[in-house]
Amino acid sequence: MTSDLLAPLDLAFWNIESAQHPMHLGALGVFAAHSPTAGAHAADLLAARAVAVPGLRMRIRDMWQPLAPLAFGSAAREPAPDFEPLDHVRLHAPTADFQAVAGRLMERPLQRGRPPWEAHVLPGEDGVSFAVLFKFHHALADGLRALMLAAAIMDPMDMPEPRPRPAEPPRGLFPDVRRLPGLVRGTLSDVGRALDIGTSVARATLGVRSSPALTSEPTGTRRTAGVVLDLDDVHRVRKSVGGTVNDVLIAVVAGALRNWLDERGDGSEGVAPRALIPVSKRRPRTAHPQGNRLSGYLIRLPVDDPDPLGRLRAVRTAMDRNKDAGPNRGAGAVALLADHVPPLGHRLGGPVVGQAARLLFDILVTSVPLPSLGLKLGGCPLAEVYPFAPLARGQALAVAVSTYRGRVHYGLVADAKAVPDLDLLARALSEEVETLNAACRS
């Protein structure tokens, strides 16, 4: 394995991290245990298998090279010379509440001097289940890449082989001169796109009313919650109203926020928070190249609309408008602007960029794909899986969602002090699906 420079977006995630805002993704998988010792056996398997996965042995090293201007202030992904899997896989004491433990573990930043990932095995007190919390730094992987890394240390699956693709050379310090004419044309196009995105970002920050419940001063605390829904219920709504499954899942979030805000006394009148919907630019079934390949859409969640079907229609219209424009345009594509910032700018401007997130969006709502095949660890089937997204500075709540084997799993991450009633929002998500189905029948 050789070292390569971090892509601009990876470098941005690496530099905006702080002790109170760790930039790692998470996923809590709950497994059906075949014996009380299944959790301990799973921990041994994860540690043994991690050695054979190259991506899990990669650390991120800061670079300061004055003679290499494209690398000055950058960071590189390189093999860790002293990789020890037992530093990354930890077996915990039995617990009766996987989410409570996961929340506390999500608070802790990953150690930056070694490969930035961890797996925490949580045996259940009941002896019939155990959970594994995976944590991957966002500079190491986006959601799809993290899934591929985690799957690599699960039990082997019979999956179709990805199409062969030419190996990409390591990212060099200087461009190939033979490609300069094309690079110049591409740069001109990229500058126009950057101006378009910047203009959209400026417009998106105007005339917005969110809710204090979705913003907070950083406390560094975390709380997680999970919700499981029947995918058939979501499909019934989609078939009745139209749109996509993702449209329905986003509308469920809007309706749940409405009910939650009203129940806690904050009120939903006039509230239309901006939701950032990340869009993967990685090709399906492809784990390479490493790092992040992300853009996004920005929409207003119609929290203030009392009609559940009206909320769904508003979400569908907004998403259709974003898709027509494509993931390379609009305010939601702000992640693409990272390509236009030199490495030293990312390093020096990281704290400023982190604080600016609250100006662009109020809540993150992201979808993480999962394979339809059943996953197992040590022969124990994966029964539930809750994806967790990092919290941006000044934001109190992030929502991630995955579909797995006929069920929808929402993973909620919140600032524990700002949102002490996260369980009420989780309940509101379940109730909103029932509300939508009832509205479709009436």
Tens digit of each residue's pLDDT (9 = 90 or more) over 292-342: 667 789 999 999 999 999 999 999 999 999 999 887 765 555 554 555 455
CA dist., res. 190 & res. 278, Å (int): 20
Comparing 74-78, 307-311, 357-361, the range with the smallest average pLDDT is 357-361
CA dist., res. 328 & res. 197, Å (int): 8
Comparing 19-23, 189-193, 396-400, 420-424, the range with the smallest average pLDDT is 189-193
Angle at 302 between CA 237 and CA 232, to 5 degrees: 15
CA dist., res. 117 & res. 123, Å (int): 20
**pLDDT score, position 215:** 82
CA dist., res. 171 & res. 70, Å (int): 11
**pLDDT score, position 159:** 45
**pLDDT score, position 171:** 46
- For residue 130, pLDDT over 60 is answered with yes
In the block, which residue shows the tokens 């050789």? Answer: 2
| pLDDT tens per residue, range 49-61 | 999 999 999 999 8
- For residue 368, pLDDT over 70 is answered with yes
Between 175 and 355, residue with greater pLDDT? 355
**pLDDT score, position 202:** 47
Comparing 17-21, 125-129, 191-195, 319-323, the range with the smallest average pLDDT is 191-195
**pLDDT score, position 203:** 54
- For residue 408, pLDDT over 60 is answered with yes
| Dihedral sign computed on CA atoms, order 68, 111, 150, 251 | negative
Comparing 9-18, 31-40, 63-72, 343-352, the range with the smallest average pLDDT is 343-352
Average pLDDT of span 113-120? 96
**pLDDT score, position 184:** 44
- For residue 257, pLDDT over 80 is answered with yes
Where are any strands of DSSP class E within 105-232? 117-123, 129-137, 223-230
**pLDDT score, position 266:** 92
CA dist., res. 357 & res. 360, Å (int): 5
Burial class (CB in 10 A: 0-12, 13-18, 19+), 349: middle
CA dist., res. 307 & res. 12, Å (int): 40
Comparing 82-86, 93-97, 129-133, 190-194, the range with the smallest average pLDDT is 190-194
pLDDT band at 72 (very low <50, low <70, confident <90, very high): low
Between 31 and 395, residue with greater pLDDT? 31
CA dist., res. 399 & res. 191, Å (int): 32
- For residue 352, pLDDT over 90 is answered with no
User: Sheet containing 294-300: which strands, arranged edge to edge?
Assistant: 223-230, 407-414, 397-404, 363-367, 274-280, 294-300
Q: What is the mean pLDDT of the chain?
A: 83
**pLDDT score, position 71:** 56
SS3 359: helix
Comparing 104-118, 124-138, 212-226, 301-315, the range with the smallest average pLDDT is 212-226
pLDDT band at 20 (very low <50, low <70, confident <90, very high): confident
**pLDDT score, position 327:** 74
**pLDDT score, position 364:** 93
